């Protein structure tokens, strides 16, 4: 049985894939209104090309910027860390050069950082767009585990 999801961010939705075909339809309509030469095949190729590029972009964002927290693990991008390894969430300072979880050099743009002290006394940076909510959920889990010990 899988753990319940306490916090989740998708990283991206799939709706940007529709931008290319919408742009192509507007191009076809503009050519119909202006009574000039029509390039329907070209617009279909442009729409398809833009849709493919947007699909690659959305897929990458969904893999690299997704955040998920369950009672047993925290998943940030390409990295998974067991919640039992998190020793402290509150009042942890972020030292210069702290490792960013998820496989990136920096916290993603638009995301807030959450310093975490691990059981080996290292400090790492977790991140989320709604960092306050993720931090609150992590505090609940760490406090619950500490009270059980």
pLDDT in tens, 15-71: 999 999 999 999 999 999 998 888 999 999 999 999 999 999 999 999 999 999 999
Q: What is the mean pLDDT of residues 115-139?
A: 94
pLDDT tens digit sequence for 58-98: 999 999 999 999 999 999 999 999 999 999 998 888 888 89
What pLDDT was estimated at residue 51?
97
Domain spans, the chain: 10-64, 69-148
What is the distance between the alpha carbons of residues 147 and 34, in angstroms, rounded to a whole number? 72
Single pTM value for the model: 0.80
Contact assessment for residue 85 and residue 141, using Cβ atoms and an 8 Å cutoff: no
Using DSSP's 3-state secondary structure scheme, residue 55 falls into: helix
């Amino acid at each position: 049985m899988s753990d319940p999801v306490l916090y989740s961010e998708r990283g991206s939705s799939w709706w940007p894939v529709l931008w290319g075909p919408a742009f192509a339809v507007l191009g076809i309509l503009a050519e119909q209104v202006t009574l000039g030469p029509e390039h329907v095949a070209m617009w279909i190729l442009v729409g398809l090309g833009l849709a493919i590029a947007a699909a690659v972009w959305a897929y990458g964002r969904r893999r690299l910027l997704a955040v998920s927290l369950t009672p047993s693990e925290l998943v940030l991008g390409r990295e998974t860390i067991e919640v039992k390894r998190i020793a402290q969430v509150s009042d942890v300072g972020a030292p210069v050069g702290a490792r960013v979880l998820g496989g990136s050099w920096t916290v993603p743009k638009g995301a807030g950082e959450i310093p975490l002290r691990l059981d080996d006394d290292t400090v790492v940076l977790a991140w989320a767009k709604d960092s306050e909510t993720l931090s609150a959920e992590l505090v609940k889990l760490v406090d619950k585990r500490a009270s059980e010990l």
